[in-house]
Structure 1
């Protein structure tokens, strides 16, 4: 199947997720009442704020306040959701039944994360990012698992590194709930690749992990975006970092 055909299939699958009972249920189970509450906080804070104009050639992340961090998280969740929707729509033939089922679960988690940030940010949200997965062979389990591990490890490092920039308690709590889910994904993917390596920090020192301290990876947004950039076609402009 050609790349453009796969992309079209993934987009259709993505759209069906929230038009289906399963998609809506997965989102509601994840978000719950707290999501509605935080969305209202975001809406209230937006009323008297002037957001920077987003260039037509890209997206702007303004890190001067919490909304810049939320858009940063939204950008990363867009990337992860697009990847897992693509995998779930046509998993490698060598995937076991259990692996296919778990990748479906991760897909729903990431789509729920993406949709939460989109809804909470409202008109302040950046646009949809155009992804580039041309370096990933979606027919190969090795390629897919390697990419999944990279995305999950980077996601954990991104949330950990951005936490210090969050000033609103409700947002910090939300970030903690999401990063713990991302860490569960990372552990599962690592165990599929090499059983028993789910808690290995030695391979994460380049992302800021501390083996001696038992601390997971943490990277600043500029470093995260530089790594993620190979998978994003949309130009991302960063200011006030």
Structure 2
């Protein structure tokens, strides 16, 4: 099982991933750097199954929340969705996109790819299979459609991490989740500014009384995200 020494190693190794200055593609070289630490911890624990149906699409994937690995797979699933979306946005920019907006979307693309690859490498054989996305509802040639979807994904991501934090037992994993959700919140604020200036603290996402971002439990998050994923996602032990 993991111990305090193991958790400190994880935090030290992931520092280059989540705190190093972003240099676009060079950022990706760090994606696997901290994964070894988490993989070592996972190896000392009861492993989750890599659930697949053999054909790749009939039985889908299962998120088993019996331990921290299930929560990490949950985050991995969401990061797969976000990465796929921003890769498409950067590859097929909408009409008349400004240079600053295109640069932003390219940067956020690399953030999300790094998050996705970090979880994939960290989980190793415990990782769920890759998800097949469905973006048929999105018009990538239209700014309003892209920004509206980006806002929905970013707000959903922040609420997902906030809602899943209480399920984590490892303080190392909780710290990692906190560092990632803060990046997602920066994305969310920027997207809201593009859509409507001074809307970054909109009451839709921030509790006006307590000044806290809202949270959603995994079932609520997956019900929303499921509209953009073809792969069936099963949830157990939640």
Tell whether 2:216 aligns with 1:214.
no
Q: 2:164 maps to which residue?
A: 162
Partner of 1:11: none
Q: Secondary structure at the match of 2:134?
A: coil
Q: Is the contact made by 2:32 and 2:121 (CA closer than 8 Å) also made in structure 1?
A: no
Unaligned runs of 5+ in 2: 1-22
Q: Go from structure 1 to structure 2 and tell me whether the alpha carbon gap of 1:173 and 1:90 turns closer, same or farther (over 3 Å shift).
A: same
Q: TM (normalized to structure 2)?
A: 0.84
Q: Secondary structure at the match of 1:238?
A: strand
TM-score w.r.t. the length of structure 1 is 0.83
Hey, what does 1:87 align to over in structure 2?
89
Judging by fraction of residues, say which structure has more helix: 1
Instruction: Map Cα deviations across residues 150-208 of structure 1 (whole Å, 9 max, x no partner).
Output: 000000000000000000111101000000000000000000001111122x123xxxx
Where does the alignment leave 5 or more consecutive residues of structure 1 unmatched? 1-20
SS in 1 for 2:235: strand
1:1-241 alignment, distance < 5 Å: 23=25, 25-29=26-30, 31=31, 34-45=34-45, 48-49=46-47, 51=49, 53-55=51-53, 56-200=58-202, 202-204=203-205, 209-241=206-238
Paired residue secondary structure (1:203): coil
Match of 2:16 in 1: none
Distance apart, 1:95 and its partner CA = 1.4
RMSD: 1.8
- Name the SS of the counterpart of 1:167 in structure 2: coil
Against the structure 1 CA distance between its residues 34 and 122, is the aligned structure 2 distance closer, same or farther, given a 3 Å change threshold? closer
- Secondary structure of the equivalent of 1:233? coil
Q: Does the CA-based 8 Å contact 1:87-1:103 persist in structure 2? A: yes
What is the CA–CA distance in structure 2 between the aligned matches of 1:147 and 1:164, rounded to whole Å? 27
